[in-house]
Structure 1
């Protein structure tokens, strides 16, 4: 008979995600001649991220959007990639971006949350690596 193994929650080490951000950027669309809000993932680390999975959805107490999924095989060090276009109607909802990726042989994940009404022109700040203004969640 094998001894019973007890693992306590405090014994599980979950690595903290640092240097990976989500930004919502207000930028000019050359094709449609409009100002659009686009979500980006930013890798400010000195290492490539592999198998990046992003699941985004908006929600409130009474509403929920469909989940949007995006996969990137690789997000190189010190780079960024566009995730999706965001309609301004979504800013009245909480917008969550659940990000999972491999850094070497370690899988990491983090949820980035833009609380309702926090994506707006008054909240713009300089976005790392992109040299643009937007709303950032670390």
Structure 2
């Protein structure tokens, strides 16, 4: 029955977009990070990212998997190009804590990723755009 289904709430786990210096290409790049600010490690982590524009254009869909993301840590997920900041970017996160499956969708509205939107990030000693 519906009343027997328990949907756990995702807490203290975020997606962040960070601008970092790339020594190899001598440029600033925007990178997507998964931040685990909880006291529990995340297991069997899967992240799917995609973008869609109001004119109907879509980005490629990317999928990433990580066996474990330690508690109070962050892990680099992917590079994100400035050309897709005009798109609505969506990140679907699925992971386990023990036997419980968690699922959450993080969305960055069009033009919400910018240097003006940077804030101090949990766990990381950097600034970035935090998606909740």
TM-score when normalising by structure 2: 0.96
Distance 1:121 1:48 in 2: 30
Where in structure 2 are there 5+ consecutive unaligned residues?
none
Where in structure 1 are there 5+ consecutive unaligned residues?
1-6
Q: 2:13 corresponds to which residue? A: 20
Alignment of 1:69-84 (within 5 A): 69-84=63-78
The alignment covers a number of residue pairs equal to 131
1:60 is displaced (CA, Å) by: 2.1
Distance 1:63 1:83 in 2: 23
Q: 1:114 corresponds to which residue? A: 108
Please give the root-mean-square deviation of Cα atoms over the aligned residues, in Å: 1.0
1:31 is displaced (CA, Å) by: 1.0
Instruction: Mark the structure with the bigger radius of gyration.
Output: 1
Query: Does 2:88 match 1:101?
Result: no
Q: 2:121 corresponds to which residue? A: 127
SS of equivalent residue, structure 2 residue 83: helix
TM-score when normalising by structure 1: 0.92
Q: 2:24 corresponds to which residue? A: 31
Instruction: Note the alpha carbon deviations across 1:69-106, whole angstroms, 9 max, x for none.
Output: 00000001111100100110010000000000000110
Alignment of 1:34-53 (within 5 A): 34-53=27-46
Distance 2:123 2:26 in 1: 25
Distance 2:57 2:8 in 1: 32
Distance 2:99 2:71 in 1: 16
